[in-house]
Amino acid sequence: MKKTIIYFLLFVSNALFAQHQKSPRLIYPGLFEEVQLSRIYADGKSFADAVPKADPASIMKAYLNQKSSKDFNLKNFVDSHFSLPESHTALYKSDIKAGIERHLDTLWTVLQRNPDTTTTYQSSLLPLPKPYLVPGGRFREVYYWDSYFTMLGLKEAGKTKLMKDMVDNFAYLINTYGFIPNGNRSYYLTRSQPPFFAAMVQLLVLDNPDVKLNEYKDALEKEYQFWMKGAEQLKPGNAINHVVKLSDGAILNRYYDAGDQPREESYREDYEAAKSTKQNPATFLRNVRSAAESGWDFSSRWFADGLSFSQIITTDLLPVDLNTLMYNLERTIAAANQEAGDTKKASLFSARANKRKAAILKYFWNAQQNFFTDYNWKNKSFSKQLTLAASFPLYFKLATAVQAKAVSEKLEKDFLKSGGLITTLKTTKEQWDAPNAWAPLQWVSISGLHHYGYHKLADTITNRWVNLNIAVFKNTGKLMEKYNVVETNSKGGGGGEYPLQDGFGWTNGVLLKLLKR
């Protein structure tokens, strides 16, 4: 009992600490900007994740006193006052001869983090009360939507306890902050990520009689409130936060970051990019940050012309994947309330899910393209960008049989390459475009096709993706964040703001699931 009380007090202390935590830019005004714009570290995330060696107030006092002196060296100052983070997978050496399943089994341990405790001096990490898995490489914290796909592998590996710990951590984040941040860092507190929490809970309770859906009912409803905040006051043709109300009264969601400053983990990149756009800088930066909330950072999907980063219009678009996830959230809340005996609330959320389904089929089915696309609510038109987000209505089983057939045909004709499915049909320098492919989108597409009986195509994609993963592993001893499915002799995908990462949480989860299947 004594240990339980001590643990509880520590947990409460961590929660109170986290609630008042500021991001690095607010803690070190002036110093933070100078470090990031000077690019004394190749990766802007390094300083954002750094741990101070002394009280931040004393560090700022020393900086203000020393910065104007002739012999002041910024890098030496930072190195003497901060401990910079290391890659969690940098020191790990794989044994290729032991095989890929042995590698996957070992990685669960390599990528696992113990419950966080508050440090002597405040860093950007938001403490979590239970163990969790990080993706790997520069991603040293838990990531929201990554974790669902990682859990697919955990379930196959029989690690149900760790799955529940991670779901409980996400419920803790919802209860502490009112939503699940992009990751457990203070600089992520302005945005979330694709809302897979409901899908995580569904996965956890599947074949697990020890856990009930209604245990997470309150957390599910709180997350729903975050995504729907302001909906009741909206008039047709207007938007607020994550919510848009269309002219016919349909209410749908968009990605929306509450901030309009450069992202702290990519400060220099955003600062420079804002100089080359015709948009108002605050509008441009909110669109950039909102694309980061989508998880697809970055992709031609979000660009007005399908080509130029400077024309990013994320908040003008209603994403088909986000709204199918919201449909699943509404259905899950209905089921949780039904299980809890609240039939009135269950009926309310079932009705909301049915309305959303009708709106999805109306606003995201592009009859001209015979494909699901995003919808531009500002100019009332379908997006011209064709992407693997079209697989989400199949994954959540709300597409019609005719629509599923059309999607399957286009996936096979235009997206299928020698190593799997490309993300979009545009080849750009952005990492969420061709020739790159990502494990979560392979899984969503493969499963969606199986749901509608397109087993042969699903199996073809599976075989090509698994073979590519294995080939790269045999060549490098690593599993990658993303892959080039066009040039399968490459060691992984390219593009983006940072070097190719290995580890890698969601690749491991999806690969193990497919290998077991």
Quick one: angle between helices 217-227 and 320-340, nearest 10?
A: 150
User: d(Cα 191, Cα 173) in Å, to the nearest integer?
Assistant: 13
Quick one: angle between helices 74-81 and 31-38, nearest 10?
A: 120
User: d(Cα 404, Cα 453) in Å, to the nearest integer?
Assistant: 9
Burial of 451 (0-12, 13-18, 19+ CB in 10 A): middle
Residues with Cβ within 8 Å of residue 91, at least 6 apart in sequence: none
* Look-up of token digits 């074949």: 207
Q: Residue 444 in 3-state DSSP?
A: helix
User: d(Cα 94, Cα 91) in Å, to the nearest integer?
Assistant: 10
User: d(Cα 45, Cα 496) in Å, to the nearest integer?
Assistant: 14
Specify whether 297 is catalytic.
yes
Q: Residue 95 in 3-state DSSP?
A: coil
Angle at 152 between CA 146 and CA 153, to 5 degrees: 100
**Rg, C-alpha atoms of the chain:** 23
End-to-end CA distance of the chain: 44
User: d(Cα 300, Cα 312) in Å, to the nearest integer?
Assistant: 8
Residues 422/289, Cβ–Cβ less than 8 Å: no
* Look-up of token digits 């702290």: 264
Residues with Cβ within 8 Å of residue 291, at least 6 apart in sequence: 255, 297, 298, 299, 302, 312, 314
User: d(Cα 460, Cα 441) in Å, to the nearest integer?
Assistant: 15
Write b or e for each residue in 335-354: b if 16 or more Cβ atoms lie within 10 A of its Cβ, otherwise e: bbbbebebeebbeebbebbe
Catalytic residue among 49, 141, 165, 481: 481
Catalytic residue among 297, 330, 430, 502: 297
- Report the DSSP beta bridge partners of residue 243: 240, 253
User: d(Cα 117, Cα 275) in Å, to the nearest integer?
Assistant: 40
Active site residues: 297, 481
